[in-house]
A = this chain, B = another copy of it.
């Protein structure tokens, strides 16, 4: 259970876009430099965000990317799910001696509910939450942490 690179970079990409919203569109080259991500890899990572409607893009000269939704509405859970593989084909466990559909159903149900619990917690963190600390830097200048 590991926070994969795709997600870690994904968060930074969206955060970067969020924090430079005022500039209009942002070029991927700039994000790549600021975030120390290879441009080519970045291009690959931003595609799912476009597809999922988190990011708009404009081609051609003076083109670039921008956030399509407000930072308050984008959560960690959503970002992670953007990179979740299609598991529709989730391999149906073969049954065997002492392992019936009944067992399988119990396990699957628990598994799914556990996943839900996981994502529910991550729904509580939005891009907006994450931005505040940096722009204001309150967290390092004071003992009082204002969120």
Point out residues on A near B: beta carbons under 8 Å: 1-3, 8, 11-12, 15-16, 19, 34-36, 76, 84-85, 87, 90, 93-94, 96-100, 102-103, 106-107, 110-111, 113-115, 117-122, 124-125, 129-130, 133-134, 139-140
Contact = CB atoms under 8 A, between A and B. Distances in A.
A12 B118 contact: no
A133 B98 contact: no
B34 A96 contact: yes
10 contacts: A3-B90, A3-B111, A12-B96, A12-B99, A34-B97, A100-B134, A106-B129, A110-B121, A114-B121, A117-B121
A2 B113 contact: no
